[in-house]
Each structure stands twice: as structure tokens, then as C-alpha cells.
Amino acid sequence: MSNFLIRKVAVLGAGVMGAQIAAHLVNARVPVLLFDLPAKEGPKNAIALKAIENLKKLSPAPFGVKDDAKYLEAANYEDDIAKLAECDVVIEAIAERMDWKHDLYKKVAPHIASHAIFATNTSGLSITKLSEGFSDELKARFCGVHFFNPPRYMHLVELIPTAHTRPEILDQLETFLTSVVGKGVVRAKDTPNFIANRVGIFSILAVITEAAKFGLRFDEVDDLTGSRLGRAKSATFRTADVVGLDTMAHVIKTMQDNLADDPFFPVYQTPAVLAELVKQGALGQKTGGGFYKKEGKAIKVLDAKTGTYVDSGAKADETVGRILKRPPAERLKLLRETNHPHAQFLWSIFRDVFHYIGVHLESIADNARDVDLAIRWGFGWNEGPFEGWQAAGWKQVAEWVQEDIAAGKALANVPLPSWVLEGPVAEKGGVHTAEGSWAPAAKRFVPRSDLAVYDKQVFRAPLVGEAGADPKTYGKTLFETDAVRAWVDDRAGEDDVVIVSFKSKMNTIGPSVIDGLVQAIELAEKDYKGVVIWQPTSLKLGTPGGPFSAGANLEEAMPAFMMGGAKGIEPFVKKFQEGMLRVKYANVPVVAAVSGIALGGGCELMLHSAKRVVHVESYIGLVEVGVGLVPAGGGLKEAALRAAEAATAANATTDILKFVTKSFENAAMAKVSSSAHDARAMGYVKPSDTIVFNVFELLDTAKKEARALAATGYRAPLRAKDVPVAGRSAIATIKASLVNMRDGRFISDHDYLIASRIAEAVCGGDVEAGSLVDEEWLLALERRAFVELLGTQKTQERIMGMLQTGKPVRN
């Protein structure tokens, strides 16, 4: 079973989680059967079919492309149960009722293939108890696999074995989940709520407890516990609303039912305000109200004292806000010493979590690393709780926690374990070291998993204190400027591809970045097999994640504009275009490793590359209309070339308009893809390009693609000549539609002007339909339109508005 192929997956249960897990597997191009009960009326598959339809309406979207819903096959347990034998993995995802799950297992177990992995997506029920009644053979293939909601966007999956689960089953599933599905896998012990929910829900309960103690409002708490702490912007109570208050109450109930001997048991009581909301059916976002409620355009927050919704917007104290910007050690010390309720509240919730993870690490996880990664990936914290403790000074913080325990201020009267205060951890100053992460049961620092799938991750998720590679300095630097770093991975056999990483804000592209990129290409043409454009920011998880490039650096171009006006900017545009052509016609393959946003000039850089390796969560588009301009780095030129190529292939060069319309609409409407698959449908990603699901594999895959192109005797494309274009008749057709939109007040006069210039560029200008032009002709059209628009007051207003506020100006 070393080469375990997962050809088809069955998901049992078409509820919120089951359907979304199935949708994300379809995103990963895994065929899926989505099972549910047979409907009592109408088609037997009606329940599963309705769930599939509902997936199309969900926000955030579970599918990368909505039309992919057609690939989900609906099934029911009565007519289709024999189809389970076709599946290599079966994931059960029905409601969190042990008795219901056992009933379902009795029904499906005889039909599961003898080689298949059987897994339950439970958020906290005992995997061992769920497997009671199984044959020994099925027990060996059974485990927990806990996805987080929403499954497409949350990086964490917890993998939970029982004492009977075969180790190779876990390795196979971890490999599949990591590389194919794109997840960060943490192996958890079979304890209530596993790792992430155990610690994460405790942290929420601690926040609720301490907030009540200090008399703080819910929105006040959210302003204190969100982005200011490097955590999810939705913070505490907004996150609870998103997760679902009934789900949260269920997870808390699991703790109540199974953790009676826990010294923190009193904290596991369902907060009265939460219980009341659930009783009223106010379950959060899915019912339209919870801790927060939207009334018209206003967001209201629940007043715990009156039970009514009031205006939200309470903010953190300014002094406390400044403290939170200080280095970790100073920050905790000042919070502890400051009397303001906000400061005392924050120190208390830090202390409570440090206390909890110190006491419970050995029982819930193999090592401290798994706790930190689970909380980062499952709850959106930038820094895990052990990392925060270690960064603030391990020994000092431990002493403060002990003092508060002794003073009766902590949430449990239980001391920190001895390993916290003495021995290797105390000597090393924390749980994460160059040797690995502390494992209390083993009484040593353990290294990361050496499973083969991780060989594809040049940079694994870093932890404070670990000796992980720093992507900003790793490898051998070939040259470095203020704008770019060109380097190679200096491991044996890995040093044959030049990697270019940008250093500008949001990886924007200006003349200095172009110079560095061209220099790297020249270097590669002499001594290397290819170039990969990869950004260290790609390792930032979340949506939209770190950027590939936010486009042209407008700030860098402003001095030229201030000195020479619109015409003064033309050399900047010309240089940008020439840089893109250098990428396209390089004598070695240039591969763009794309993740996050690739907008404007970032999109154009990607389009000119020999190949694109694109992370599934990539948001790509030509968005220059937002600042009153047209794409002028060759993006519209590439649209015209691709339209001509498609028309020629279809023997339709007299009707190029239909091939250019989509590209025109993409640029004129500043459409941004909702995923890499959507970008493929929009034409930005080619069918031959590679889509990867795990962003940590992006660099390795891009390097392999560059080598593969080089190995086949890569040659740059010949320069485009005799390009048939749609011409003036197509421009007139497009403008007629634009006039109707303008007159109907759907677009402004300035929008009309910009869209007209885009039409002229993609259609090849004022020439007859089918006229033959070259690449420089098309680039000149872009430049002329760009410079003309830059000279208008309304475009200048849009640019200044974007630079000053970061938001588009509509004029």
C-alpha cells in the first residue's frame, strides 16, 4: 500500500460540513459521492441534491468555480450504498450524535472496500468509542479527520488515531490531505475536542469569563482580541457567530460531559448569554443574529445587561492600544502593571491560556508544536500560545502565572507542571528549540515529521525559537538590491534555478524591481536552468494570503509625473513593457509562482512568464480601471495575441471580436478571479499551467516546472508578428454597448472613456477587421491610452484617492 491511490471519496452526510468538505475535494479534482438519507418525497437523492444547490449560494464560496457543483454526485443510503465499494476513502460527517453515527456505521460498514480508509469528521467525540462494534480489521483502517469550517479556507485538519489505527493509514491520509487537498495536518490525541477546539474554545470561555469580570462589552472585547493581538479580525464573538453558536455550545457540552476531572472544569459551563441565544434560535451568522445582528447597513451588538441590540463600535483604550504595539516581553509586563480594565483583562486572558496549555500539553498533544500550529491554522492566530509565551520570556511569564495561581486570580487552583519551571525547557528558555519542540511524555525536544510529502516544502510553517529556514535570507544570495533578492537553494541538486523575490511593499513593481528581474534573467541565461519568481509573503496563510504582486508601484512613478506631467510617465510605462518582454523572451524559462493577489502589473508579469504555477487561492485580475487607467504592462497586448491565436485556430480571423470580448470585459470591469480555477476560466491561467493546493509546496513545484521546461530544450516563443486584430468595427460594437450603459447611468462618463480605451487596445486600434499588426503596435496603443488617461483630472483623483485611502474613488 505504499502507493495508495485515492481515486474516489465518499462523504456521508450532506449537512453544512459534509457538503463543504465534498465541495473542496471537488476543487482538488477528486471525484466525490455525497450521501444522505433517501428523501421521503420526490427523487430519492433530493436531500443531497438540495445540499449541492445550497453550496452554490454559500458565502464564502465553497467552490473555486461555482459550475464545479456539477461534479458532485448525489447519492442516498438506500439505492446507492453499493457504490461505497468504489471509494478509497469514506468520510462520515453527520451530526455530532454518537448514537446516530453508530447506526450509520452498522449500515455502511459491510459496503466499504477492504482497502479503504474510513474516517469520521467529528469535532470532538471519542474516536475510540465511535469505533466500538467494528471488526478488528475495520478498526485498523478507522481514524478521525477533523476539518475546520469553512473547509476550503481553513488550513487545519486534525488527524486522530485510535490505539488500533495502522500507522501507514495515517501516513497515507496525511500525505493526501497535505498535498492534494492543501491542508496543514496536525496529529492529535483521542481526547475530548482534540487540540484546536480544546485550547481554542477554552480561550474563548476564558475571554467570556474575564470580560464579565471586568464589565466589558462584546464589541469592546472584539476590538481588543482581534488583529491587535495578531489574531483573526473577527476576534472572539464575531468568530463565534461565524462558527455557529449551536456548534460552539455543542463543543462546550462535549467538554462538560467528558472532562469532569479537569481542574478547569468550572470554566466549561455554557455561558448564560450563549445558552439564551441558542434557546432563542439566534445562532449567529446562519440565522442573521447572535452576538451581533445586522439591521439595514448597521451592525448592532448584543447588550448582555438588557438583552437588546445596540450600536456597535466600542474601541480599546488608546494607552492599551499603544502597549499592544510594544515587543512581547514589554507588552505583557506593561499589561500586568497597568490598572486600566482593558489591560488587566488582556493580561488575564494571556495568563489563563498559558496556564491551561502548560497543565494540559502532555494529555492532549504529542508536543508543543502541534498545539501552536493547531491554534494558528484552526483559529487564525498569527502566533501560537506557546510561541507567545516563549517570545515574552519563558521563565518570567511562568513566574507571573505561578504568582497569580497562588493569589487565587487564575481560573484553576492547579500549579504549572514541573517541566515548565525546571529542566530542559527552562534551561533553553522555551518549548521550541533548534532541536525540535518539547514533548513532555518523551521528556525531550522532538523534530518535525519526516514524512516524504514534506520534502516538497522548502519552508515549513516557522515557529518562534525553532531553527527553521528564513525565506528572506535562506540559500545563497546571488545579488540583492533594495527592490529584489536573487538567490538559489544551495542544497545539493537544488542550486540550478534562480529564484527572484521582491522586497517592495505588497511586492509592487517599479523600475528598480524591473532592473533586478532583468539582471536575474541575464544571470540565469549564463549559468542556470531557469528563473522562478516567488515571494516569501506567499507563506502567509489566510484569505487572500500574502500577495504575489499588487501591481505597478504608483508611488515610485509619481515623481516622474510631478516633474513631467502625463508625458513624463511614458518612460516608466515603456520600461515596464520592456521588462515584461524580457521575461517573455528570456532564453531560459521564467516561471511565476503565484499565490494570493496578482493584480494589474502583477497579473501582467504572470501572463508574460513561460509558465505559471498557481496556488488554488489566487485572486488574479487586471484592475487598473480602479485608478482610472488601463493595463499598460502588456496585459491588453497579451489579450489581443491570445484572441488572435484562438481565432486563427478556429479559422475565424474575420470574427475576432467574439474571442476578445471576454478579455475586454475582464479588464473593463476589473474582474478578479475567485480562485486559480476561476482564473483559468477567465483566461489568465492556461490549461497547461499547474495549480497547487498547498502553498508551502509552491516554490518546489515551480522549480520543478522550470527544470522540466529546460530539460525539454526550452526555447522562447518567436516574437509576435502578423497578428490579426478585431479592428474598428469591433471597437464600434463595444462602444455601442458602453453608450447604453453610460446613458442608463450604470457607468460614469469617465468609466466610458476608460473602457473605450481598453476596447481600442484589445481590438488593435483604428484599423480594418483582420488587419495584421505586431507586438509593438499593440504596446503603443496601451501606452498612448495610459498616458492620455493619466492627464485627466478624474484619473488623477482616482490615483490620489487610492494612495491616500486604499479605496477606489468613483467619479
Specify the pLDDT at position 207. Answer: 96
Q: Are 720 and 585 in contact (CB under 8 A)?
A: no
Q: Is 556 helix (H, G, I), strand (E, B) or coil?
A: helix
Rounded to an integer, what distance in angstroms lies between the CA atom of residue 138 and that of residue 119?
11
Three-state SS sequence of 675-699: CHHHHHHHCCCCCCCEEECCHHHHH
Q: Distance of CA 571 to CAs 79, 80, 761, 764, 776, Å?
A: 68, 66, 19, 22, 15
Omega cis (within 30) before 43? no
Residues 69-90, mean pLDDT to the nearest whole number: 98
User: How much is the pTM?
Assistant: 0.94
Three-state SS sequence of 273-328: HHHHHHHHCCCEHHHCECCEEEECCEEEEECCCCCCEEECCCCCCHHHHHHCCCCH
Rounded to an integer, what distance in angstroms lies between the CA atom of residue 150 and that of residue 21?
8
- All structural domains of the chain: 9-187 (3.40.50.720), 196-446 (1.10.1040.50), 476-790 (3.90.226.10)
Q: Give the pLDDT confidence of 47-59 residue by residue, as tens digits.
A: 999 999 999 999 8
Rounded to an integer, what distance in angstroms lies between the CA atom of residue 590 and that of residue 522?
11
Residues 663-677, mean pLDDT to the nearest whole number: 97
Instruction: For residue 582, count other CB atoms closer than 10 A to its CB.
Output: 16
Q: Give the pLDDT confidence of 183-210 residue by residue, as tens digits.
A: 999 999 999 999 999 999 999 999 999 9
Grid cell listed for 802: 487610492
DSSP annotation of 624 reads G
Grid cell listed for 635: 496585459
Number of Cα atoms under 13 Å in the Cβ half of residue 671: 17
Residues 542-554, mean pLDDT to the nearest whole number: 84
Rounded to an integer, what distance in angstroms lies between the CA atom of residue 302 and that of residue 311?
9
Grid cell listed for 238: 464575531
Strands across the sheet with 9-12, in order? Answer: 72-76, 32-36, 9-12, 89-92, 117-120, 142-147, 156-160, 184-187
List all residues 6 or more positions away from 507 whose beta carbon is below 8 Å from its beta carbon. 535, 537, 547, 548, 549, 550, 602
* pLDDT band, residue 3 (cuts 50/70/90): confident
Instruction: For residue 114, count other CB atoms closer than 10 A to its CB.
Output: 8
Residues 80-85, mean pLDDT to the nearest whole number: 98
* pLDDT band, residue 109 (cuts 50/70/90): very high
Rounded to 5°, the CA angle 227-233-239 comes to 130
Q: Give the pLDDT confidence of 369-384 residue by residue, as tens digits.
A: 999 999 999 998 999 9
Q: Are 569 and 555 in contact (CB under 8 A)?
A: no
Specify the pLDDT at position 227. Answer: 93
List all residues 6 or more positions away from 23 whose beta carbon is below 8 Å from its beta carbon. 55, 62, 63, 68, 69, 72, 151, 152
Handedness of CA 702, 708, 711, 716 (dihedral sign): negative
List all residues 6 or more positions away from 277 whose beta carbon is below 8 Å from its beta carbon. 245, 283, 290, 291, 302
Taking phi first (over 0 means left), then psi (-120 to 50 degrees means alpha), and beta for anything else, what does residue 706 get? alpha
Q: Are 354 and 421 in contact (CB under 8 A)?
A: no
pLDDT of 697 higher than 60: yes
* pLDDT band, residue 415 (cuts 50/70/90): very high
Instruction: For residue 115, count other CB atoms closer than 10 A to its CB.
Output: 10
pLDDT of 348 higher than 90: yes
- How do beta strands 89-92 and 72-76 pair? unpaired
Structure-model confidence comparison of residues 399 and 800, the more confident one:
399
Residue type for 240, please? A
Task: Count Cβ atoms within 10 A of the Cβ of residue 682 and give its class: 0-12 exposed, 13-18 middle, 19 or more buried.
Answer: buried
Compute, in degrees rounded to 10, the torsion defined by CA atoms 597, 601, 603, 607: -160
Specify the pLDDT at position 247. Answer: 87
Rounded to 5°, the CA angle 146-27-44 comes to 80
* Helix/strand number for the chain, H first, E second: 31, 23
* pLDDT band, residue 251 (cuts 50/70/90): confident
Q: Give the pLDDT confidence of 554-574 residue by residue, as tens digits.
A: 778 778 777 888 788 899 999
Q: What's the Rg (C-alpha) of the chain? A: 28
pLDDT of 107 higher than 70: yes
Q: Give the pLDDT confidence of 603-612 residue by residue, as tens digits.
A: 999 999 999 9
Rounded to an integer, what distance in angstroms lies between the CA atom of residue 52 and that of residue 312?
36
Rounded to an integer, what distance in angstroms lies between the CA atom of residue 430 and that of residue 438?
8
Calculate the average pLDDT of the chain: 95
Specify the pLDDT at position 566. Answer: 78
Task: Count Cβ atoms within 10 A of the Cβ of residue 426 and give its class: 0-12 exposed, 13-18 middle, 19 or more buried.
Answer: middle
The H or E element containing residue 715 is none
Grid cell listed for 698: 509552491
Residues 476-489, mean pLDDT to the nearest whole number: 97
Residue type for 47, please? I
Residues 612-626, mean pLDDT to the nearest whole number: 97
Task: Count Cβ atoms within 10 A of the Cβ of residue 233 and give its class: 0-12 exposed, 13-18 middle, 19 or more buried.
Answer: exposed
Grid cell listed for 495: 542550486
pLDDT of 528 higher than 80: yes
Sequence-ordered strand ranges (E) for 188-297:
292-295
pLDDT of 640 higher than 60: yes
pLDDT of 1 higher than 60: no
Specify the pLDDT at position 542. Answer: 67
Specify the pLDDT at position 2. Answer: 61
Rounded to an integer, what distance in angstroms lies between the CA atom of residue 539 and that of residue 547?
10
Grid cell listed for 109: 460498514
Q: Give the pLDDT confidence of 744-757 residue by residue, as tens digits.
A: 999 999 999 999 99
Handedness of CA 667, 673, 676, 682 (dihedral sign): negative
pLDDT of 248 higher than 50: yes
